[in-house]
Structure 1
Amino acid sequence: MDEKEIQSFLVISSVVLLVIIFTMISLFLLFRKKKNDLLLEKKLAEQKFEQEIAKTQIEIREEIFRNISWELHDNIGQLLTLAKIQLVNNLSTDEVKDTISKSIKELRTLSKLINPEALKNIELKQAIQDEIDRFNRLNFIKANLVIEGETKALDHKTEIVFFRMLQEFFSNTIKHAKASNLCVTLKYLPNMLMVIAKDNGLGFDITNTENAGIGLINIKTRAKLVKAEAEICSKINEGTQLTITYPYQNGNS
């Protein structure tokens, strides 16, 4: 190999080497950019999730305060008015004591809801049971909670989202469905939790887009937030059913 060929070989080798180095640097920078983009996307998703959780907590708190306001005005107010009437009419002391005792019991129940720690320590099964008890106590509707399988504690934020979804369903049942019965079932299956809420109210045409109120849309949106699925089935005069399906995350709750 003469000197000219050697020079040509060196030039070609240098060019190839530079191309390889440039390609490797480009791939590295591209990989780094994609990694940073993924980290940023993950961070933004986490921030959005936390914002939605905070929003959900505020909505739960607002719903609780609305309930408290109503109970103070209509329920406890009526009990205290009754006690006053009993005193004016000189009814037996036992009757007056019984009425006042009921008022105190109702106030104690409400005071637990007002406690700021109540929402922080929310536990799905107990939160639902408290709502069921309230409905029955105030004769809103005949309601019951059924537990199937071995109870599993879910992520706290997931339970908050589930409870808000159920709150919206309950609100629709109480205010619009004119139902007489409400049943909530928690099915703890080996790999997933199924939450089923069903009423026997008026129902509606699910195919009519005008019936897709903001509450029903929020339920489905919130389900996606915690990687669950929400299905709403309804027929006119046959009631409405909400089914939430939640596969346990990473093989656990």
Structure 2
Amino acid sequence: MEPGYALLGPVEALPSLGLADPERANALLLGIIEAASTGPEVEPLAAAVARLITGATATDVCFVHVLDDTERSLSLAGATPPFDAQVGRVQLPLGSGVTGWVASHREPAVIVDHKETDPRYLPLPALRGTEFTSMASVPMATGPAGLVGVLNVHTVTRRQFTDRDIRLLLVIGRLVAGALHSARIHRRLVARERAHERFTEQVIAAQETERRRLAGDIHDGISQRLVTLSYHLDAAGNTLREAPHEAATQLGLARGLVDLTLDEARAAIGGLRPPVLDDLGLAGGLASLARSVPQVEVSVELADDRLPEHVEIALYRIAQESLQNVAKHARASTAVVRFEASGGAARLVVADDGVGFDASAVGQTGYGMRSMAERAELVGGELRVVSRPDSGTTITATVPTATL
């Protein structure tokens, strides 16, 4: 901000048309503050600024052009009616037209009349420039942010914009530039977060597609061939006449190997792609997992809410790993699996009454716990582990559902 404007006194900081009245100056300042407080979105702020400027400068229309994220062009972010319908549709490369010239040179530009004779002027049919005679254009910039955008005002009748008029526009531009800069940063962060979420979903979807393909290959190839082999072994056992005892022994060993391989193939299929999710949904899948834990009485409290596929898969895998830990390490007699979706979040809880462990060393407890935490984080959630020696373990995965 220029010297002389730092304190923003209502009369000194806002020089110009009719603003020697302290009440009007204070009203304008209040309006700018309220506009800057409307929220982190660029377009509502720019629209509010456009309305304030036309009222403060007695002009007919105002356009607020904001530097886009590439910093190579300006986008119409706010305008007074009826041009507000063009917001987001008008793009101007830096250096193009009067607006682009002002952005490139960081200097104001004034055209009193005969705009078409000015070499900088570029007609934009959407903004109906031929209907307006005079215009003033100033850069919006701050020291920390640099150029943020350009303010344009137009009048239907001929207007000789004075130095005080331009100073007023420059001051207003500086006042709102910081807020617009913050709004642009927020917009970039939101876009980056959404891109990250989409990427995460695509990665999980690609992983599950590949798992589904591998599971299908195992089922249709290895498993089917093993089943066929078992039929041949049975047939061979029924037709052997010589050395029946030895043959029966060898066939029995082969049959046992086939059965073991089939069990391993089925386990691999289930590990690659849980088909129970396709058949029964998440609640059914969790109930099936609870029934599969040996020597532990597992109760379930399961809501029937459905979630996006990649979230259901993540929660299913977390429950699967948790119950495997219960079966292998917890030495528990009972456990409970709870799933609910309410209050803007989905929660999966797996708790047991086993031996527990030191939860402060959870990062050192092996791949399984880290894998569960990573799965929760990939779908925008978090994993919480509560455990103490001899006090059991509770694992809670929480995923926000508002953005799903």
Same fold? TM cut 0.5: yes
**Distance (Å, rounded) in 2 between the aligned partners of 1:168 and 1:175:** 10
Q: How do 1:129-208 and structure 2 match up within 5 A?
A: 129-133=287-291, 135-136=292-293, 140-142=294-296, 144=298, 146-148=300-302, 151-177=304-330, 179=332, 181-187=334-340, 193-208=346-361
Distance change (3 Å), C-alpha of 1:208 and 1:230: closer
Task: Quote the Cα distance in structure 2 between the aligned partners of 1:169 and 1:116.
Answer: 17
If the length of structure 2 is used for normalisation, what is the TM-score?
A: 0.39
Task: Give, in angstroms, the shift of residue 242 of structure 1.
Answer: 0.8
2:201 corresponds to 1:48: no
Aligned runs of 1:81-160 on 2, under 5 Å?
113=270, 118=275, 121=278, 123-133=281-291, 135-136=292-293, 140-142=294-296, 144=298, 146-148=300-302, 151-160=304-313
The reply on whether 1:242 has 2:395 as its aligned counterpart is: yes
Alignment partner for residue 37 of structure 1, among 158, 172, 185? 185
Please, which runs of 5 or more residues in structure 1 have no aligned partner? 1-11, 92-98
Q: Please give the root-mean-square deviation of Cα atoms over the aligned residues, in Å.
A: 5.2
Shift of residue 157 of structure 1?
3.6
Aligned to 2:20: none
The whole-number CA distance in structure 2 between the counterparts of 1:145 and 1:60 is 32
Q: Distance in 1 between matches of 2:164 and 2:203?
A: 57
Bigger Rg over Cα: 2
1:224 Cα deviation after fit: 5.3
SS of the aligned residue for 1:24 comes to: helix
Aligned with 2:360: secondary structure? coil
Q: 1:219 to 1:173 in 2, by over 3 A?
A: same
Rounded to whole Å, the distance in 2 between the matches of 1:244 and 1:163 is: 11
Please report how far the alpha carbon of residue 221 of structure 1 lies from its aligned counterpart in structure 2 after TM superposition: 5.3
Letter paired with 1:146:
V
Give 1:125's aligned amino acid: A
Tell me how far 1:164 sits from its aligned partner. 3.2
Structure 2 counterpart of 1:170, which letter?
L
Q: Point out the structure with the larger helix share.
A: 1
Gaps of 5+ in 2: 1-14, 17-161, 239-243, 249-255
**CA deviations over 1:66-104 (Å, ceiling 9, x no partner):** 9x98xx89xx99xx69x869867799xxxxxxx9xx99x
Higher relative contact order (CA 8 A, sep 6+): 1
Residues 196 and 241, structure 1, Cα contact 8 Å, conserved in 2:
yes
The C-alpha deviation readout for 1:144-195, integer Å capped at 9, x for no partner, is 45135x5322344432332233233234334544556543122456775442
Amino acid at match of 1:216: M
Tell whether the 8 Å contact from 1:169 to 1:242 is kept in structure 2 after alignment.
yes
> Alpha-carbon deviation of 1:18?
1.9
TM-score, normalising length from structure 1?
0.56
> What is the total number of aligned residue pairs between the two structures?
217
CA contact (8 A) 2:277 2:284 kept: no
Deviation at 1:236, TM superposition (A): 2.2
Distance 1:64 1:242, change over 3 A: farther
Change (3 A) 1:175 1:144: closer
